[in-house]
Amino acid sequence: MPNPTETTKAQSEARGAIATTITVGTDKAARPIAIKARPARDGGPKTALVWLGGYRSDMEGTKAIALDALAAELGAGAIRFDYSGHGVSGGAFQDGTISRWLEETLAVIDAQGVEEVILVGSSMGGWIALRAVQELKKRNGAQVKGMVLIAPAPDFTSELIEPMLTEAEKTSLAERGYFEEPSEYSPEPYIYTRALMEDGRVNRVMTGIIETGCPVTILQGMADPDVPYTHALKLVEFLPADDVVLTLIRDGDHRLSRPQDLDKLRDAVAALIAP
């Protein structure tokens, strides 16, 4: 079980968020996870917004900041954090797997002691959000009131990466335990490890009906070069029991960080948090 231990606490005057660090895991698996949590205003909504970033992203990205600003406007709580190996959290990126980052997600939510959450997941964060709602339903923890998934990439290791592997990449995975791929968003290449690929198979969600028990809004760009919009269409087929709204943005890319995209994100989250 995660053993969250607060090690730092500093008030951020600029945004009103409280910066903390918790420790997740034990012994050699222990890693410090950096969090920025905005407390709800007195009389504000009791539902907290939880940001779940994508692969190699961090809690200071454009969409994460926009979500925090929306929470401040609405008087709601907001929780942002960096997965291990991301941003200012500890741990090695190469040790990261969906199970590891899911464990950190649940530990962060537990540590904040919130009763209700709206999970907002971008790209890989959409996969982690879908896994988190499955795990949260098994415990007497926070209730998921709604989900907003931005260019969601559930099962991306098996659905989007493995079918496209070259022979050289397969050889690198077998011999080196990882392969590298150039990134359009960073001078540093993406690194995909054998552990990530194997763990991804264990965490697949698009294998049967996904019962989130809450409304789900999906925002997906049709010009997304990383996660094709057909992947979002496929995901919808696995959510027959939920109230699902899919918005396809014809000229939207993977980031969906333009002003007009952020407006759609704000509207989607505000609609879910409204009493």
Q: Is the pLDDT of residue 7 over 80?
A: no
In a domain, 83, yes or no: yes
Give mean pLDDT, residues 15-20.
85
Give mean pLDDT, residues 157-172.
97
In a domain, 263, yes or no: yes
In a domain, 233, yes or no: yes
In a domain, 187, yes or no: no
pLDDT digits (tens, 9 = 90+) for 114-152: 999 999 999 999 999 999 999 999 987 799 999 999 999
pLDDT digits (tens, 9 = 90+) for 243-273: 999 999 999 999 999 999 999 999 999 999 9
Helix (H) or strand (E) holding 159: none
- Burial (CB < 10 A; 0-12, 13-18, 19+), residue 216, is buried
Q: What is the pTM of this model?
A: 0.93
In a domain, 2, yes or no: no
In a domain, 190, yes or no: no
Looking at residue 228, its pLDDT comes to 98
Could you tell me the residue range of the domain that residue 66 belongs to? 9-155+214-273
**Tell me, what CATH number does 227's domain have?**
3.40.50.1820
In a domain, 111, yes or no: yes
pLDDT digits (tens, 9 = 90+) for 38-89: 999 999 999 999 999 999 999 999 999 999 999 999 999 999 999 999 999 9
**Number of structural domains in the chain:** 1
Sign of CA dihedral 243, 64, 186, 54: negative
Torsions phi, psi for 49 (to 5 deg): -90, 130
In a domain, 175, yes or no: no
